[in-house]
């Protein structure tokens, strides 16, 4: 029999849920898949896998080569790379302006990761009903300058949602961002029969709970797929060096041309065009601060200290 290829919808500790020609089956990864890799998880949501015929559950024999993936350091206690999703067309970074407040540091880290992994990203500023319009405009301006597309949405009254849905049609889109920013609510509004569980906002304040606890690939009626993911707190890129981080901030490029040294790290050097631009306000100070933060932790002599993780969303904004 010819090998059967399916797409991974969900990954649990011992089984993966695979879509095989429209039927969901549970399969178990072969032990060999776990060998010899720096990655924590050999299989991620969005992967295409080859499954066998025999066994209960049937085995996953092979993971097909990925077109792309999004990865990060697994956790403060596990330095391996965690693959979050694979084979995607774009990422929607869902940020909330209030409850939880907007974190430019975390936003910039995730955008940097998207540049690094060559995944086109759109920033979605959700909960505009709760936000100060001046703040929404300022954040929009900062990110459009990178440039990346920025959408302003309210999942409750539907503002901005037609634009969001139109951008998702026929594509594989990941929804990613902090817990409570409204990822699942937005998806339910785009396609109500997804019926994804949504959080009660009071929970985030009292317990910092995540409502979505695993990533899931959903098929969209309008065409395309979406992956809803659990909310994140910290985000650290896996295995990047200072020069690579510089390339993840394309909005620095016009100012970088004015640095005295071609290999300027924009940190301590004199006559740095980027530092000057941030000081003048031509470049958002928050972008420059995020860059310096990522640069610091990428330096080989920096011991990794979990206490340096960005603070949780509950205490921000």
Ligand X SMILES: Nc1nc2c(ncn2[C@@H]2O[C@H](COP(=O)(O)OP(=O)(O)OP(=O)(O)O)[C@@H](O)[C@H]2O)c(=O)[nH]1
Closer of 18 and 168 to ligand X (Cβ): 168
Three-state DSSP class for 2? coil
Q: How far apart are alpha carbons 93 and 169 in whole angstroms? A: 17
Select from 211, 215, 256, 290 the one that contacts Mg ion (CB under 5 A): 211
**What mask of x and - would describe binding to ligand X in positions 136 to 175, judged by CB under 6 A?**
------------------xxx-------------------
Q: Which of 26, 72, 67 is nearest to 48 (CA)?
A: 67
Backbone angles phi, psi at 100, to 5 degrees: -85, 160
Q: How far apart are alpha carbons 310 and 106 in whole angstroms? A: 8
130 binds ligand X (CB under 6 A): yes
Beta bridge partners of 77: none
106 binds ligand X (CB under 6 A): no
Please state the closest distance from residue 16 (CB atom) to ligand X, in A. Answer: 21
Stretch that binds ligand X, among 61-69, 121-129, 162-170, 256-264 (CB under 6 A): 121-129
In whole angstroms, what separates CA 281 from the centre of its chain?
27
Closer of 151 and 272 to Zn ion (Cβ): 272
Closer of 73 and 259 to Zn ion (Cβ): 259
Q: Which of 13, 81, 87, 4 is nearest to 45 (CA)?
A: 87
Which partner, Mg ion, ligand X, Zn ion, none, binds residue 259 by CB below 5 to 8 Å per kind?
A: Zn ion
Contact between 93 and 74 under an 8 Å Cβ cutoff? The reply is no
Please state the closest distance from residue 270 (CB atom) to Zn ion, in A. Answer: 9
User: DSSP of 126-159, one letter per residue?
Assistant: E-GGGS-HHHHHHHHHHHHTTT--EEE--TTT-T
Closer of 132 and 271 to Zn ion (Cβ): 271
181 binds ligand X (CB under 6 A): yes
**Residues from 212 through 231 that contact Mg ion (CB under 5 A):** 212
Three-state DSSP class for 161? helix
Please state the closest distance from residue 185 (CB atom) to ligand X, in A. Answer: 3
Question: Where does this chain bind ligand X (CB under 6 A)?
Answer: 126-127, 129-130, 154-156, 179-185, 198-201, 210-212, 230-231
């Amino acid at each position: 029999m010819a090998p059967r290829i399916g797409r991974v919808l969900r990954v649990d500790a011992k089984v993966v849920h695979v879509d095989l020609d429209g039927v969901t089956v549970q399969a178990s990864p072969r032990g060999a898949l776990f060998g010899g890799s720096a990655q924590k998880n050999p299989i991620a949501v969005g992967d295409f896998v080859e499954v066998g015929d025999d066994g209960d559950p049937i085995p996953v024999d092979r993971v097909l080569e990925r077109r792309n993936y999004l990865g990060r350091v697994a956790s403060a206690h596990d330095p391996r790379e965690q693959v979050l999703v694979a084979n995607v067309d774009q990422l929607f970074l869902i940020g909330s302006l209030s409850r939880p407040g907007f974190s430019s540091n975390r936003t910039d880290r995730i955008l940097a990761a998207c540049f690094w992994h060559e995944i086109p990203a759109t920033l979605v500023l959700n909960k505009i009903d709760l936000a100060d319009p001046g703040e929404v405009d300022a954040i929009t301006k900062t990110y459009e300058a990178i440039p990346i597309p920025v959408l302003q949405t309210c999942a409750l009254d539907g503002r901005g949602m037609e634009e969001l849905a139109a951008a998702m049609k026929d594509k594989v889109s990941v929804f990613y961002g902090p817990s409570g920013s409204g990822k699942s609510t937005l998806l339910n509004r785009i396609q109500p029969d997804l019926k994804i569980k949504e959080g009660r906002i009071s929970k985030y304040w009292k317990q910092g709970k995540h409502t979505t606890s695993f990533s899931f690939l959903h098929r969209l009626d309008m065409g395309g797929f979406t992956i809803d993911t659990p909310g994140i707190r910290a985000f650290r890129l896996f295995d990047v060096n200072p020069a690579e981080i510089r390339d993840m901030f394309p909005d620095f490029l016009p100012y970088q041309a004015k640095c005295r040294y071609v290999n300027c790290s924009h940190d301590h050097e004199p006559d740095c065009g980027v530092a000057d631009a941030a000081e003048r306000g031509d470049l958002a100070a928050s972008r420059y601060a995020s860059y310096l933060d990522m640069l610091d932790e990428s330096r080989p002599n920096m011991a990794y200290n979990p206490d340096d993780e960005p603070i949780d969303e509950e205490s921000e904004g």
